[in-house]
Amino acid sequence: MSSQALTARTLAAIADSQQGINAFLYIDREGAMNAAREADVRRRMGKPLSMFDGLTCAVKDNIDVAGMPTSNGLGYGDTAPLAREDAPVVARLRAAGVIILGKLNMHEVALGATNDNPHWGRCENPLRAGYTPGGSSGGSGAAVAAGLCAFALGTDTMGSVRIPASYCGVAGLKPGREGLTTAGVTRLCRQLDTVGPLARSARDLRELWPILNGTANNQVPPARRTDLGSVRWAVLEDCAGVGVEEGISEAFRDLAKRLPGAGHVPLNFSAIDFSAIRRAGLLLCEAEANVTFSAERQRQPQLFSEQLRGLMQWGAERSAPELVQASDKVQAAGDWLRQQLQNVDFLLTPTAPQTAFPFEQAVPVNQANLTSVANMAGLPAISIPLGDSAEGLPFGLQVIGAVGSEVALLAISVALQEWLAEHDLAVTA
């Protein structure tokens, strides 16, 4: 199929989906079709820029795409400032021939994990109407799950790529702290922010990685199968202690029992005071939001929801030493997690303690407990689909790797996903 045909069909599907799923905040039909035409010329001449040349991507609305608005999920309507330059990760995709379809719905300024956006409307989970797709990159998870793009970019400060990947049944990668440049990405929390891709499989993420981090040189990286049997795993043992739903715990325990490997070490989060580090991570975001958005908030307070203004106000009223203490707690939790990798290759946990839930339901406080620690540690982490609940809602498996291990993490995740498919575990619980 030509890129033009694919892109036209995708744009039509997006238009149809907006009423229900509401994944897009901005759609660039003309730019996408022009780019698709150019991709088709290259493909006809046998000169594709990469294996993704002519394929489609959509971008979370806190990542700059030249000529498109960057709203950060704030109430700009059609008045959001247009980005002058592509964020480097976007520029690299463009240089690989990727078609940029538009900008995606997100939780307001990425501070929250339901994507119940008060200005742009909820982004719905494509797998269940009225349910959250997770967040803050809810539009990214929903768009990939609904087939509205080949892959999407999101950002992940405490789990914002991996939680929507888990809730929407797709794969999502949060790189390590130095893994991918966050230039051109609106800052939420410098210490924790990362930008990462969501796609239908770990295989897609693995192929995307060298393009995103600028090491591809537009060459297709060699496919690589890793032997699971040689891997030393640390496996979360205390699922109940972190409030993991019973169906997810069962599937995870079943996986741990059957998974090949060169040793399973139990992983236990009892040293972590989740309530304390959650408040600490949140305070870092609240304080920084006062700096990032201070000018805009003074000029146009109506862009910000009352709830967000409240969070920012809370951050503004904290003292500098309180912020230091919060940063210390975040750092200590990260140090602890890195220590857990000393004698193993990867850590395994469920991605989120629950499946997607109705928007009407109270937001579970533990949504990001299992994901945020990887941000605090600066470690790369991936979520791949692990199974489906009795209700038919997906949940993810999180794999956390050592500093700088993105390539190995992606390779092992591909092998894991193949193993899950072969062993019928991807449809349990």
| Contact footprint for a second copy (CB under 8 A) | 190, 283, 286-288, 290-291, 294, 315-325, 327-328, 331
Q: Please, which residue, 190 or 225, has the CB nearer to a second copy?
A: 190
172 Cβ contact partners less than 8 Å away, ≥ 6 residues apart? 137, 140, 141, 154, 156, 161, 162, 164, 165, 166, 196, 197, 198, 199, 205, 382, 383
Q: Please, which residue, 102 or 378, has the CB nearer to a second copy?
A: 378
The pair phi, psi for residue 317, each rounded to 5°, is -90, -5
Q: Is 136 a catalytic residue?
A: yes
Can you tell me the distance from the alpha carbon of 198 to that of 220, in angstroms, rounded to the nearest whole number?
Answer: 19
CA torsion sign, 385 to 165 to 198 to 183? negative
Q: Please, which residue, 181 or 305, has the CB nearer to a second copy?
A: 181
Can you tell me the distance from the alpha carbon of 176 to that of 156, in angstroms, rounded to the nearest whole number?
Answer: 11
The pair phi, psi for residue 64, each rounded to 5°, is -70, 130
Minimum CB separation of residue 283 from a second copy in Å reads 7
Q: Which of 3, 60, 103, 372 is catalytic?
A: 60
**Token pair recorded at residue 358:** 């109705």
Can you tell me the distance from the alpha carbon of 329 to that of 243, in angstroms, rounded to the nearest whole number?
Answer: 21
Can you tell me the distance from the alpha carbon of 170 to that of 146, in angstroms, rounded to the nearest whole number?
Answer: 10
Minimum CB separation of residue 291 from a second copy in Å reads 5
What angle (nearest 5°) sits at the alpha carbon of residue 101, between those of residues 383 and 73? 70
**Token pair recorded at residue 281:** 């991570």
Minimum CB separation of residue 320 from a second copy in Å reads 4
Q: Please, which residue, 206 or 329, has the CB nearer to a second copy?
A: 329
Minimum CB separation of residue 325 from a second copy in Å reads 6
Four-CA torsion 94, 98, 103, 109, nearest 10 degrees? -60
Yes or no: say if 157 and 343 are a contact pair by the CB < 8 Å rule: no
Q: Please, which residue, 88 or 396, has the CB nearer to a second copy?
A: 88
Minimum CB separation of residue 330 from a second copy in Å reads 11
Q: CA nearest 166: which of 205, 196, 194, 133?
A: 133
Minimum CB separation of residue 288 from a second copy in Å reads 5
Q: Which of 50, 71, 136, 383 is catalytic?
A: 136
CA torsion sign, 75 to 78 to 84 to 88? positive
Q: Is 405 a catalytic residue?
A: no
Q: Please, which residue, 331 or 366, has the CB nearer to a second copy?
A: 331
Q: Which of 160, 166, 249, 413 is catalytic?
A: 160
Active site residues: 60, 136, 160
